[in-house]
Structure 1
Amino acid sequence: MTSFIPCVKWVKQGVSLHQNKIKLSQQELQELTKTEKKEKEPSRNTRKDYNLENYDEETMDISGAMSLSNLAVYNDINNDDNDSDTDSDKLDEILKPDDNLVLVGNVKKNECMLEVYVYNGNDNDFYIHHDIILKNPPLCLEWFGSMGNLCALGSMSATIDLWDLDLIGCLEPTHRLGRKKKKNPERNYGHTDAILDITWNEHLSHIIASGSVDETILLWDLDACEPHTRMEDFGDHVQSIKWHPFESQTLAVGSSDFYVYDCRTYDTYKSWKIKGKVEKVHWDPSNGFLCYVGTDRGRLICYDCRTDKPLWRYKHHENEVTGIYVWDKFIVSSSTDETLKVWDKEKKHLIKIREFSGALHSLDGCSDYPFMVAVGGSGTSKFQLFDIKDFSLKTC
């Protein structure tokens, strides 16, 4: 399997200051291993789109006796007296108020991981803080703060795993949204195929939306951990979704075409025909009427949602657009054509092309340092930070 970074996400400063380590007894570890072996049924599931194979589709209901709440013994890092750790390691584990986290889904040859990096712009620090071993290859992730400091992770399985980022050493997610099992399929709920995108509604903080290969969108109630609304009839994979930055009810959707939904009523939406398929959608943070769409043909299109035709469209890349980020007058786009491009959205001209030695699969900008962009790719271009101001790269 090719090693690559399919998803990255920044976490704003100040949300992760009380980290805990989990320590399990030998008996608890043995019981957990037995439970996993008993419930796990290996299956073969090949997806040509992502070149992933031999991953288990079976998921485990963790609401019972083997959940983290019953297994975990928490140690506050700030009060950890473990002499085996060096002073330097302890300092790296303690997060500061001006630290940002960067969440990275990493698919390696023999394992998949959720990696948590620390970036501090004041001290120029950039290092990996901890990682979490995953059962399935991650395809998308989203941070949300309504229940703490958590990451919602979508994968080739049809479920969404919720990981507590303040727990170091956890073996299972704190919650799992959806259920897909071969035994008792009548009890399944949620999506029925791989989850391609997740977006958190910051204005209605108990709601996240997920888009899937099964051609549906689900709106999840995080308080109940259940799907609240099901949106369907897209006719193709739901590749990209994004809540509006100012309006709690408005959702941008990228599938075979581009849609904007009013989620208060399922049948209220506006759509635009696209040549090819939509790979990414991204709202303009300074103008709530504008939304940018990246396609599988390398085009970047700007829509004013009040009009029927796009404001402009350009052939930005040779291959599909895999990431869009907008800050101030800049538009940053990434592609599997191994380039990252910076555009002037007002003058509509190219400012900078940064070439990489591998396809780029993911892109996200930092809210606290909006000129800093996280980029995930493959080959030697796996995970780096890109500074829009001076076009420099930073590696860990």
Structure 2
Amino acid sequence: MTSLISSVAWVRRGVTVRHPTKYVLDDQELERVSALARIELEDARAELEKAHAAAQSMGKGAEGVEADDLDEDDENAWVDEDEDAMVQDVPMDEDGASKPKGSSSKGDDLAQYNLDDYDEDEAMPGMGPFSNIKGLTFYRNNDEDPYITLKEDDEEQEREELEILPTDNLLVVAKTEDEISQLEIYVYDENEENLYAHHDLMLPSFPLCLEWLDFAAASSSTRSSSSADPFQQFGNFIAVGTLEPEIEIWSLDTVEAMYPDCVLGRPDKTAAHVPTPLGTGKKKRKKTKARPASAAHHVDAVLSLSWNRTHRNLLASASADRTVKLWDLNRSPTGEGEGAGALRSFDVHKDKVQAVQWNPAEPTVLLTGSYDRTVRTFDSRAPEAGVGAVVGADVEALRWDPWEPHGFYVSLENGLVLNFDARALPSDLDAPSPARFTVSAHDGAVSALDVNPHVRGVLATGGTDKVVKVWNIADDPDTGKRGVSLVTSRDLGVGKVFSTSWSPDEPLTLAAAGSKARVQVWDVGANAGARKVLGAKLAEAGRNVKEKQNGGVIGVASDDEDSSGDEDDE
């Protein structure tokens, strides 16, 4: 498996706790984890006891040590290897008065040293290596010693190293390298132009998508340990969709975590995770049978996630099983019966659903895009009344325009980016549904797309041609038509671009990552041409841009990275 970064997600400033806590696997956490993992601990203990008993019956202990000739209950079978060892404890004050039975008959060998009067010996003047030192002072600890200036212990030093300031952003990266998948959490200090790794979280499967949220799920350790109203609980979490039909939610305020705070979509006592091969006999086909569809959980990879920022307990997911599911984070994922699993399931596409997003202006409306070459938008309360459009190619990504409640962008596999007005779309996909405008953005698939939330009409795209581009969309005052122009483009050295995302705090800062398993932060405002084109829009938004060093590109250099790495990879 090649190394790559499939997705990146920002965390805005001031959300992360200043001093993250370390993961503690206590009894309460073990009980929570066992419930999420559906592990019967008592059954496991019983099986372990049976195995131990079977091993003993065969003449071996649990560690495989021969036990035929040794009875654990027979104290006489144990001998002391020290022949002169005392066989009876004697009080210290009676040690010199009487010798215990069985002790050595050689007499007191230590008497010649006169240890009883050892402390009363007078020091001879002018003797010894420290004879010129008139006096020594003993301090109980280093804090009292004025000559020791480094008084910080290891815990305090580690606490300072893990500190996250209110002016820092977190950047979460879904990375797979050498067949090992993990979440890497970076700290981005915009003032110091510094990006460094903070901690990482191991993942059991290949990650495909990320979505940040601040709502603590019902089964999370944060919710269970908090005495506050659960509906008002805030936190710092990242939802991860992987090749497995499950959604993992991790706390970003906990380092060295071993298990996620919540797992959505894990079926109980089913074979949904066990693929069944087609055919019989020696020559079996590689293709496996499709898992039976379920309204309660996904049965294939989770390709996209979207958190509802208005109804904070709702999370939408799109999957390769052709469905879109709605999850209520207030419901326990380990429950049984009617209250378990997904809240709703929508079958609005005929192929893999690649992307899903809530409308920020209308929080009950969803936008979806699929490999069936269509996009659909519908109210989650009445999905049968949705509208859509045929786009002519597989959908790679889509975004609502935060500046227009009914406008959205769609990026396609053929290199095009389309803009639609949802109010003009038909309910019948056979009817014509032309886009408001089309942009030929990249030579290859437009695999990454994001709309700037700070400056109106600024779009970022990334493609398999390894280029990140920034676009300016503006209305012509004379004709009233919408025009699109390229502001700037750059090869950031991340390979094929799989993810681009604008910063939630800086107006012209974006993060990009791709097939080279590298993440780069690019301040577009460092480009003089970009500042000139977007200067009026920045002033209108009340934002200004500081000039940056290094061309505005900030990354994390690897240990084995050299200056010719990019050219060799090309």
TM-score band, normalised by the shorter chain? 0.7 to 0.9
Cross-structure match for 1:21 = 22
Cross-structure match for 1:110 = 179
Query: Cα offset for 1:120?
Result: 2.2
Q: Of 258, 271, 277, which aligns to 2:375?
A: 258
Q: Of 443, 446, 470, which aligns to 1:321?
A: 446
Distance 2:271 2:204 in 1: 22
Cross-structure match for 1:60 = 37
Query: Do the aligned partners of residues 145 and 24 (structure 1) sit closer, same or farther apart at CA in structure 2, a change above 3 Å counting?
Result: closer
Partner-residue secondary structure (3-state), 2:405: coil
Cross-structure match for 2:421 = 304
Query: Cα offset for 1:14?
Result: 1.3
Distance 1:121 1:139 in 2: 27
Query: Do the aligned partners of residues 110 and 201 (structure 1) sit closer, same or farther apart at CA in structure 2, a change above 3 Å counting?
Result: same
Which structure is higher in RCO with an 8 Å CA cutoff and minimum separation 6? 1
Query: Cα offset for 1:252?
Result: 1.1
1:83 matched to 2:60? The reply is: no
Query: Do the aligned partners of residues 16 and 63 (structure 1) sit closer, same or farther apart at CA in structure 2, a change above 3 Å counting?
Result: farther
Distance 1:184 1:195 in 2: 18
Is 1:102–1:118's contact at 8 Å kept on the other side of the alignment?
Answer: yes
1:162 partner amino acid: I
Cross-structure match for 2:428 = none
Q: Of 225, 236, 259, which aligns to 1:149?
A: 236
Deviations 1:346-366 (A, max 9, x none): 141112121244111111111
Query: Cα offset for 1:276?
Result: 0.8
1:342 matched to 2:342? The reply is: no
Q: Which runs of 5+ in 1 are unaligned?
A: 37-58, 66-80
Distance 1:222 1:164 in 2: 14
Is 2:410–2:419's contact at 8 Å kept on the other side of the alignment?
Answer: yes
Number of residue pairs aligned between Structure 1 and Structure 2: 354
Larger CA deviation: 203-212 vs 146-155: 146-155
Query: Do the aligned partners of residues 385 and 64 (structure 1) sit closer, same or farther apart at CA in structure 2, a change above 3 Å counting?
Result: farther
Query: Do the aligned partners of residues 173 and 82 (structure 1) sit closer, same or farther apart at CA in structure 2, a change above 3 Å counting?
Result: farther
Query: Do the aligned partners of residues 64 and 128 (structure 1) sit closer, same or farther apart at CA in structure 2, a change above 3 Å counting?
Result: farther
Is 1:62–1:175's contact at 8 Å kept on the other side of the alignment?
Answer: no
Query: Cα offset for 1:90?
Result: 3.6
Within a 5 Å distance, the mapping from 1:1-396 to structure 2 comes to: 1-17=1-17, 18-24=19-25, 60-61=37-38, 83-84=153-154, 87=157, 89-147=158-216, 148-180=235-267, 189-224=296-331, 225=333, 226-255=341-370, 256-308=373-425, 309-327=434-452, 328=455, 329-346=457-474, 347-357=483-493, 358-379=495-516, 382-391=518-527, 392-396=552-556
Deviations 1:117-154 (A, max 9, x none): 11122333321111001110100011100222111111
Partner-residue secondary structure (3-state), 1:252: strand
Larger CA deviation: 199-208 vs 318-327: 318-327
Query: Do the aligned partners of residues 187 and 375 (structure 1) sit closer, same or farther apart at CA in structure 2, a change above 3 Å counting?
Result: closer
Is 1:245–1:285's contact at 8 Å kept on the other side of the alignment?
Answer: yes
Distance 1:180 1:109 in 2: 29
1:20 partner amino acid: T
Query: Do the aligned partners of residues 363 and 305 (structure 1) sit closer, same or farther apart at CA in structure 2, a change above 3 Å counting?
Result: same
Sequence identity (%): 30
Deviations 1:88-117 (A, max 9, x none): x54331111222111110011131111111
Distance 1:353 1:64 in 2: 56
Deviations 1:215-259 (A, max 9, x none): 000000000043111001400111011111211111111112111
Is 1:119–1:127's contact at 8 Å kept on the other side of the alignment?
Answer: yes
Query: Cα offset for 1:290?
Result: 1.2
Deviations 1:246-288 (A, max 9, x none): 1111111111211111112121211001111111111111111
Q: Which runs of 5+ in 2 are unaligned?
A: 43-150, 217-234, 273-291, 334-340, 426-433, 475-482, 528-551, 557-570
Distance 1:184 1:349 in 2: 52
Is 1:279–1:321's contact at 8 Å kept on the other side of the alignment?
Answer: yes
Cross-structure match for 2:125 = none
Is 1:159–1:180's contact at 8 Å kept on the other side of the alignment?
Answer: no
Distance 1:239 1:201 in 2: 18
Query: Do the aligned partners of residues 102 and 291 (structure 1) sit closer, same or farther apart at CA in structure 2, a change above 3 Å counting?
Result: same
The structure with the greater share of residues assigned to strand is 1
Is 2:38–2:268's contact at 8 Å kept on the other side of the alignment?
Answer: no
Moved over 6 A (4+): 62-65
Query: Cα offset for 1:164?
Result: 1.0
Is 2:348–2:376's contact at 8 Å kept on the other side of the alignment?
Answer: no
Deviations 1:43-77 (A, max 9, x none): xxxxxxxxxxxxxxxx9337989xxxxxxxxxxxx
CA RMSD of aligned residues (A): 2.9
Deviations 1:303-358 (A, max 9, x none): 11122421101211111111112222321100111111111111411121212441
Query: Do the aligned partners of residues 248 and 110 (structure 1) sit closer, same or farther apart at CA in structure 2, a change above 3 Å counting?
Result: same
Partner-residue secondary structure (3-state), 1:306: helix
Is 2:293–2:321's contact at 8 Å kept on the other side of the alignment?
Answer: no
Partner-residue secondary structure (3-state), 2:160: helix
1:314 partner amino acid: V
Partner-residue secondary structure (3-state), 1:389: helix
Partner-residue secondary structure (3-state), 2:444: coil
Normalised to the residue count of structure 1, the TM-score between the two structures is 0.82
Query: Cα offset for 1:294?
Result: 0.2
Partner-residue secondary structure (3-state), 1:91: helix
Is 2:9–2:501's contact at 8 Å kept on the other side of the alignment?
Answer: yes
1:196 partner amino acid: L
Distance 1:104 1:62 in 2: 30
Query: Do the aligned partners of residues 310 and 62 (structure 1) sit closer, same or farther apart at CA in structure 2, a change above 3 Å counting?
Result: farther
